[in-house]
Amino acid sequence: MRLRFIGSTSGGGGCPSVYETDRGTVVVQGWKLDPDDQAYGDVRDMADDEDVLEVPRELLERFAPKRAEGNTGLVSGAAFDELFTTFEHTARRLETRTHYDIENERESFTQFLDGEEVDLAWFSPWLGTMREQTTAGKTVARVRVVPPELTDYLRYELHLAESNTAAGEDIRYLNRETANRFVLPDRDFWLFDSSTLAVLHFTDEGHLLGAEIITDPAVVVEHARWLDAAFHHAQPFREFVKEHPPR
């Protein structure tokens, strides 16, 4: 079983925390109870291989993950695209996955792997939107959390980043060890104008299901803090690509 960190109310990255697992369950890291505590007498039907933990109510209110499959509350399609034209000042993202399954990219991804010239015609709408927004003085920026050895997809993404930055985006790279040190979450999200959070939900294969929109100030501030740390310690694209040529 593997865990994916969701969030913590500890302030320092320790207990208490919430994780998602790769088998559709949730793990809670909390405080052990004293076996002599009356709580053990109040628990119903606890088996020998089970235990109970104590966590703040706030932890679950803020970070208990929602089931993405079939969640009609997820924003997608034109409604999701609109987020990138209606923000007023900043759109910042944290990227944590090592692979994304985007239908429009598949052909050009294959071209990249085969060493061919990559056709970026499919990319034009996004790049046009980015030029329009950044020319208007808005900021679009993202930090990509990467492992020591880049996956084929991350190398492909690095190849595309040349076009992203030419359109005005600020793209930076952060190694996974540093991300873990600052307890950054293992999930992707966009933060618009430091007020509207869009947590991205994917299938296991990396297909985007949609965005969960959150405006609760406490949750937004937590994610803004993560972004601040990520951007402060991340390496700019121009420096990173010199050390990690995509081809």
How many CA within 13 A on the CB side of residue 2?
A: 4
pLDDT of residue 92: 98
pLDDT of residue 32: 80
Rounded CA-CA distance 159/156 in Å is 5
Rounded CA-CA distance 9/16 in Å is 6
- Tokens linked to 41: 């007498």
Asked whether 220 and 90 are in contact (CB, 8 A), the reply is no
| Amino acid of residue 61 | E
Which segments within 40-195 are labelled E, that is strand?
53-54, 90-95, 139-146, 170-175, 189-192
The pTM (predicted TM-score) of the whole model is: 0.78
pLDDT of residue 68: 44
- Tokens linked to 91: 């759109």
Q: How many CB atoms within 10 Å of residue 78?
A: 7
Find residue 208's DSSP bridge partners: 202
Q: How many CB atoms within 10 Å of residue 113?
A: 13
pLDDT in tens, the chain (247 residues): 877 777 777 665 557 888 777 777 888 888 787 777 777 777 777 777 777 888 887 777 667 665 544 445 799 999 999 999 999 999 999 999 999 999 999 999 999 999 999 999 999 999 999 999 999 999 999 999 999 999 999 999 999 999 999 999 999 999 999 998 888 988 999 999 999 999 999 998 899 999 999 998 988 998 999 999 999 999 999 999 999 999 9
pLDDT of residue 86: 97
Close Cβ partners of 84 (under 8 Å, ≥ 6 residues apart): 91, 129, 133, 140
How many CA within 13 A on the CB side of residue 230?
A: 31
